[in-house]
Structure 1
Amino acid sequence: MILVTGATGTVGRHVVDRLAGVHAVRVLARHPERLTRTGPQVQAAAVDYTDAAGLTAAMTGVRAALLITADPLRPEHDAHLVTAARAAGVRHLVKLSALAVADPEANDLITCWQRDAEDRIRTSGIAWTFLRPRSFMSNTLGWARSVRQEGVVRAPHGSAPNATVDPRDIADAAVQALTEPGHEGQAHALTGPEPLTPAQQTDILSDVQGRRLRFEELSREENRGQLLARYPQAIADALLESADRQRGGAKAGTDDTLPRLLGRPARTYRGWATDHSAAFRTGTTTEGS
């Protein structure tokens, strides 16, 4: 049995899709009704991450677990998951972390939270694998509404490169780590094949959409205002620090781990944009992921 947390999210849902029908899967979902994949080999366990007994019960009989948590203001969620895994006898934990943890200059709230989670798993006595992706290509879905309605992309640091990665590639790497031997004790850096700036991504979206899109660079204060409209201040500040690091070139490096793991090139942003073109198309009312 393989357990997946975050099964309704950007990466987790792809992992469940790939595992279902081949492996018995149990998903921890606080909102099981949002699952996109169900069936006789997909068990849903509606357990809150603060419910220690419920988490241990959900992990009983599980061989390997993918841990995806999303709230840096609730680090106890990671602690409870690791404690439950140890109590239930889980043999392998695969943690979705972030590539920034390997950067000594990155000390924002989100990166420190991921470092702490890795340290907790590393000292748990359970075999571990860390997946450390760069920013997701799917983050640019945040531009979809303005692209549809105005033909405009608004983002900070338009000339700052980022080797963004397709979430589907992250999911493929996660499935390998969960189902194949040899990943224990490994931290996999996962990047896309090339660094692209927001302005360059806008040009690619223009080509895919077949219409000229305009890029407008947000000032730091404009970006901060947009972030504060969506997130608590502590998280908004961490995202601003992360954006500043990107401006300094900290996210431009590529890594060959994904091609080596998957036996094929990492997916490109152009490919991702083509596959998700409907989300940016005029007249579309929903945003894909």
Structure 2
Amino acid sequence: MTILVTGATGTVGSHLIRHLLREGHRVRALTRDPATADLPEGVEVVAGDLTEVLTLTPVFDGVTAAHLINFSKDYKPLRNGQQIVDLALRAGVRKVTILGGWEEGTLEPAARSSTLEWTHLKPIEFMGNTLADWGERLRAEGVIREPYGDRKGASVHESDIGAVAATALTEDGHAGKAYTITGPEVLTPRDKIRILGEATGRDLRFEEFTPDQTRKQWVEEGRPPEMLLFKVFGDNPEIGYRERVEFLLRVYGSDNNLGSTVTDVVEKVTGRPARTFAQWAAEHADDFRA
């Protein structure tokens, strides 16, 4: 069978493709620009955009299972979920996994009300966010200055999300399930800095800022964590930096029981323990070196 992977060049999609190829499955990868897509040999690469249904008509031909993402390139929820589901059903797609973003869009309810065997993947926090949010600052200065250094999270390795998706797409027993996916441990920013220091051999530091110091650095001095703010709010020009920063301060300062509760989804679904942050840090150590 052919399995379609959307978001194929993203962190989860790229891992999912490798899992599927190792298991001997035929993979079709959807990307907006096939010419620039760096994908493994043996993958059928096709052009298309989830936000433009007319580009997807040939993409689902011959596909029996599909990995879908519920957001567009600006991280906003898709508005055309029902059209995508209708197209998939007409093409004969039977199973789908749906990778959720910050909020539910139109894709999830459309799938739930259809005859598709759907599985909703809800990772709490990607380990890769550490590189997007901290990489440049750690390479340049070796120090992260943020508020609430003891806030807790159970981030998950992107490869484990891909492994859960691969299992749900190729094995029975996962239809109608919504999986909250975490890593195997709860860590704070201080913990992550210590682990990254051990992985890189560098003297990395975490300096805790007060909320007012954070406002000064991120707003007045114009040095916000760009990728984090973009992922939360997209490119909406109506939401200024100050509003975004205030939102993040509220999130950082609140007790997030969901985000700091470890689940056993990875092990239950894939049959092996979830990867640790130390493993992820060792894999990406060079990305944090000056």
TM-score, normalisation: structure 1:
0.83
Amino acid at match of 1:172: A
Amino acid at match of 1:203: R
Please list, as runs of the form range in 1=range in 2, the aligned pairs for 1:37-56 lying within 5 A after superposition: 37-40=39-42, 42-56=43-57
**Are the counterparts in 2 of residues 5 and 69 from structure 1 also a CA contact under 8 Å?**
no
* Kept after mapping to 1: 8 A contact 2:85/2:107: no
1:257 aligns with 2:259: no
Following the alignment from structure 2 to structure 1, what is the Cα–Cα distance between the partners of residues 203 and 254? 28
Residue 140 of structure 1 corresponds to which residue in structure 2? 130
C-alpha offsets along residues 66-125 of structure 1, whole Å, 9 cap, x if unaligned? 002443435225444323212322111100125xxxxxxxxxxx32xx254322221133
Show the counterpart of 1:103: none
Aligned to 2:11: 10
1:182 — aligned with what?
A: 173
The unaligned stretches of length 5 or more in structure 2 are none
Q: State the match for 1:104 in structure 2.
A: none
Shift of residue 176, structure 1, vs aligned partner: 0.4
Q: Percent identity?
A: 37
The counterpart of 1:277, out of the listed 240, 261, 285, is 285
Structure 1 window deviating more from structure 2 (46-55 vs 236-245): it is 236-245
Does the C-alpha gap of structure 1 residues 164 and 38 become closer, same or farther in structure 2, counting only changes over 3 Å? Answer: closer
Find the counterpart in structure 2 of residue 82 from structure 1: 85
Matched residue SS, 1:279: helix
2:114 maps to which of 113, 117, 124: 124
1:1-289 equivalences under 5 Å are 1-20=2-21, 22-40=24-42, 42-71=43-72, 72-73=75-76, 75-97=78-100, 110-111=102-103, 114=104, 116-141=106-131, 142-217=133-208, 219=211, 221=215, 222-223=217-218, 226=224, 230=230, 231-233=234-236, 234=239, 241=247, 244-250=250-256, 251-282=259-290
Instruction: Classify 1:238/1:95 alpha carbon distance in 2 versus 1 (closer, same or farther; 3 Å).
Output: farther
Deviations 1:150-189 (A, max 9, x none): 1112344321101000001101111101111111111112
The answer for unaligned runs of 5 or more in structure 1 is: 99-109, 283-289
Contact 2:79–2:105 under 8 Å retained in 1: no
Q: Which moved more, 1:12-21 or 1:88-97?
A: 12-21
AA aligned to 1:93 is: V
Provide the secondary structure at the position in 2 that maps to 1:27.
Answer: strand
Higher mean C-alpha displacement, 147-156 vs 31-40: 31-40
Q: Per the alignment, do residues 50 and 167 of structure 1 end up closer, same or farther by CA in structure 2, a change over 3 Å counting?
A: closer
The CA distance in 1 between the partners of 2:114 and 2:240, in whole Å, is 27
Q: Secondary structure at the match of 2:11?
A: coil
Q: Is the 8 A contact 1:143 1:154 kept in 2?
A: no
Relative to structure 1, is the Cα distance of residues 34 and 80 closer, same or farther in structure 2, using a 3 angstrom cutoff?
A: farther
Which shifted more, 188-197 or 17-26?
Answer: 17-26
Match of 1:173, as an amino acid? V
| Code of the aligned partner of 1:244 | R
Distance 1:168 1:8 in 2: 13
